[in-house]
A and B are shown apart, each in its own frame.
Chain A
Amino acid sequence: MSFLLKAANLKKYYPVGRFFLKKLMLRAVDGVNLEINSGRIFALVGESGSGKTTLGKLLLRLIEPTSGSIFFDGTDITKLSSDKFKKVRRNMAMIFQNPFDSLNPRKTVFQIMRRPFELYKNKRTKFDIKAEVEKVLNMCGLSPAADFFDRYPHELSAGQRQRVVIARAVAVQPKFIVADEPTSQLDVSVQAQILNLLKELQEKLHVSMLFITHDLAIVRSIANDVSIMYLGKIVEVAEVTRLFMQPLHPYTQALLSATPIPNPRVARSRKRFLVVGEPPSPINPPKGCYFNDRCPYRMAKCMDVQPELNQIADNHSVACHLYK
């Protein structure tokens, strides 16, 4: 299976001062290995402080990694000069979380939408660009598109704004899109519309997507593969059906158990796998497995040795000493 994007031992550390002689580092992303195949939706799940947003930005080189490599379509993009990278960047796009902030308040929809075409397509005439913009907006559910050309972001609803953000991302048909919590700030009914749209576009344009979220319920219905992140490390990767059928890592089990289920009978009868405490600080993570101080299955080894991501089955890997 050829992968579109591969991250190898990716790290991002932020210096945050000193503690006597030791330089303190915030380990946002702490040695991540990832493989995303073309045409798949890959979910990246984690809570706040897990490093998922940082990882998303690293893959697009919006942030420079501290160490590690990122292979896109065979090329290591971390080693590219900014000119050469510009050509690669055309194939990558990002969708952000906040529909109220992702669009320049002083630009009309048309002014916002034409930039990707002006940057990456040779069609320079205004007429051609108008046609292209119209096509994309219609594809994203904003029709009739011409009505939206002269509107400003504040004149649009949250759902419409997010559609513009998505339209801008898919405008020049990239191969890879990072969607960072694209629906978490939307109402439930609008969220459903946007998720359907993303799924539709992904199939139509055969795009690979990294879908960053904290909500496992969304993952179940939208993603093909999923990885769970905790304190800068990937603790489990699997195909979606496998993960929900057989979650291996204790943290994954805790996340699933903690996610509310919108069904009162099931909700009240389910067995809860409660995890205590809160995540440790990313500046001073514990020795050994980062999850050990909250893990009910902790063994002596867990406090000493960091578990590696091991492949347990064909499409399931986990970083835990319980599974060897």
Chain B
Amino acid sequence: MTAVANQKVKGKIPNETIKEFWRLYKKDKLAVFGLFMLVFFVLTAALADFAPYNPFRISDESFAPPSLKHFFGTDDLGRDLFSGVVYSVRTSLFIAVSATLLSTFIGVFVGAIAGYFSGSIGGFWTRVTEVAQTIPAFLLCILLVSIFKPSIWNVLLSIGVLNWTRMARVVRAEFLSLRERQFVESALSLGESRTRIIFSEILPNVLPVIIATFSMDVAYAVVFESGLSFLGLGDFNVMSLGILLYTAKQYLHVWWISFIPGLVLFLLALSFNLIGDQLSIIFSPKLRQR
């Protein structure tokens, strides 16, 4: 304990806490697997430009099965599937993470207000969340994207704007319980303004849960985006897993065209899910070590 105190790191996370966090995280082997998978995917996305072929490059080797020349085979237009998948991972990650950043921003904002304020203000925003939850987000997304031309930005925006309700719910719950805590009362008695209390006192305590929920939301966004593209609403100028699957719709009997993108999609979503799940467990009050 004294080692930590002597470290003089102002507000930053000391090494011991990181070690402790990793020790708790390691407990679930699947979660560790998920983490490695994610790291692998992120590297893939970063190094996508080193893919062997231009994914859009049409060749006359259509329907070629996986081989040393084409690791994942080719599709109906002879495009290399491996390069396609690699670029898709980058696109999917980009869209999913960006969209979730947007939805997190909205969700935290709404959740904080709904949770901190009692009475009409809090009540109003709680109702807003509840109503938004019941709206079939996917259908609305479809509607939005069809009205405005399908493009990577429209997909990103529509997911971001519609996927915030889980975050809002979670943040609201945290604020509801934290606002009763004595350190918040102390801050009030000191004369802190409400804004200050929300952002400076309560929010830092909600951060771990936000991070955990963020991960889960990204998993959801990944699948969401693929769904949209699968239905033909994605941006066909960009390669994404959903678009690959869209092509695969017509050629389900050609196993590598449908199975491989599907598997990658599954693993990508799964990795975020596993990580988010384990983070939720670590950050849940019952298991907080102290």
Contact = CB atoms under 8 A, between A and B. Distances in A.
Given A104-B205, A154-B290, A115 B190 contact: yes
B202 to A, nearest CB: 9
B191 A90 contact: yes
A96 B191 contact: no
B116 to A, nearest CB: 15
B134 interface: no
Interface in B1-37: 1, 4-5, 7-11
Nearest to A56: B189
Nearest to A154: B290
B235 interface: no
15 contacts: A60-B189, A62-B188, A86-B191, A94-B185, A101-B181, A101-B182, A102-B182, A103-B183, A107-B204, A108-B11, A115-B187, A120-B191, A150-B8, A150-B10, A165-B186
A109 to B, nearest CB: 10
B10 A168 contact: no
B20 to A, nearest CB: 12
A168 to B, nearest CB: 7
B185 A108 contact: no
A116 B5 contact: no
B189 A104 contact: no
Nearest to A171: B190
B204 A106 contact: yes
B205 A106 contact: yes
A93 B10 contact: no
Given A104-B205, A108-B10, A119 B182 contact: no
Interface string B184-227: 01111111100000000100110000000000000000000000
A104 B185 contact: no
Interface residues of B, number: 23
Contacts of A102: 182-183, 186
Contacts of B181: 101
A155 B190 contact: no
Contacts of B186: 94, 96, 102-103, 165, 168
Interface in B87-121: none
A105 interface: yes
B67 to A, nearest CB: 55
Contacts of A90: 191
A102, A155, A165, A168: residue with the most chain B Cβ atoms closer than 10 Å: A102
Nearest to B1: A155
Nearest to B207: A106
Interface string A13-47: 00000000000000000000000000000000000
Contacts of A103: 183, 186
Contacts of A54: none
Interface in B227-282: none
Contacts of A154: 290
Interface in A259-317: none
A256 to B, nearest CB: 30
Nearest to B181: A101
Given A108-B10, A147-B5, A154-B290, A116 B182 contact: no
Interface string A73-104: 00000000000001001101110111001111
B192 A62 contact: no
Interface string B155-197: 0000000000000000000000000011101111111100000
Contacts of A89: 191
Interface in A106-163: 106-108, 110-111, 115-116, 119-120, 147, 150-151, 154-155
A133 B187 CA distance: 17
Contacts of A86: 191
B117 to A, nearest CB: 16
Contacts of B183: 101-105
A168 B4 CA distance: 23
- What 10 A-B pairs are tightest by C-beta distance, nearest first? A101-B182, A94-B189, A106-B204, A104-B183, A89-B191, A102-B182, A96-B182, A151-B5, A102-B186, A98-B182
Contact of B189 (A62, A101, A105): A62
Contacts of A119: 190-192
Contact of B5 (A94, A104, A111, A150): A150
A96 B4 CA distance: 27
B182 A150 contact: no
Contacts of A110: 10
Contact of B11 (A60, A111, A168): A111
B190 A93 contact: yes
Contacts of B187: 104, 115
A119 B190 CA distance: 9
A74 to B, nearest CB: 20
Contacts of A115: 187, 190, 192
Given A115-B192, A147-B5, A150-B9, 13 more contacts: A86-B191, A90-B191, A93-B189, A94-B189, A96-B186, A104-B205, A105-B183, A105-B205, A106-B205, A108-B10, A110-B10, A115-B187, A155-B1
A106 B206 CA distance: 10
A168 B5 CA distance: 20
Contacts of B1: 155
A102 B9 CA distance: 23
A293 to B, nearest CB: 33
Nearest to A105: B205
Nearest to A92: B189
